Amino acid sequence: MLRRMKGLVVVFRGLVLFSGLLLAGCGGSDDHTGSTPPAQTECQAVMNEYCSSATSCLVTGNVITEADRATTNQSCIDEGAVKLKCDHAVGVSSTYDQCLTDLKSLPCDPVVAVAHGTMIDPLPISCNQVILIRP
């Protein structure tokens, strides 16, 4: 249980860093009545990729067990939905595709370092302000 909780805390710490890099203020409006706007779907795709990669790093870094992978990944996604507010996304930057590519090969050393309390940024530079959020 301690290892599992530690892993969840790590992912949440990463999300705090993640949200600082990912979001940029932007004006906008919702014109997609009845459907999910593309920017919201793209925001969720970034969160899903980050959580999947970060969770894999926590498993390979022996921070959490394989048995805790699914729960930790889902907790990351749930927490990310609250922190990132993808439902307010109105666009993506020109580095969106590169961000997704870079997240798929996220280096594990920074993620594991955050798990052990080091406050460093585990995110690729391509993810800096990649999702535009309306105020």
Q: Is the dihedral of CA 13, 45, 62, 105 positive or negative?
A: negative
Distance CA 105, CA 10 (A): 18
The sign of the torsion formed by the CA atoms of 85, 89, 94, 98 equals positive
| Residues in the chain with pLDDT values less than 50 | 1-17, 19-21, 26-30, 32
Domain limits of the chain?
A: 37-133
Say if pTM beats, i.e. exceeds, 0.85: no
Q: How many CB atoms are closer than 10 A to CB 78? A: 12
Q: pLDDT tens digit string along 50-87?
A: 999 999 999 999 999 999 999 999 999 988 878 888 88
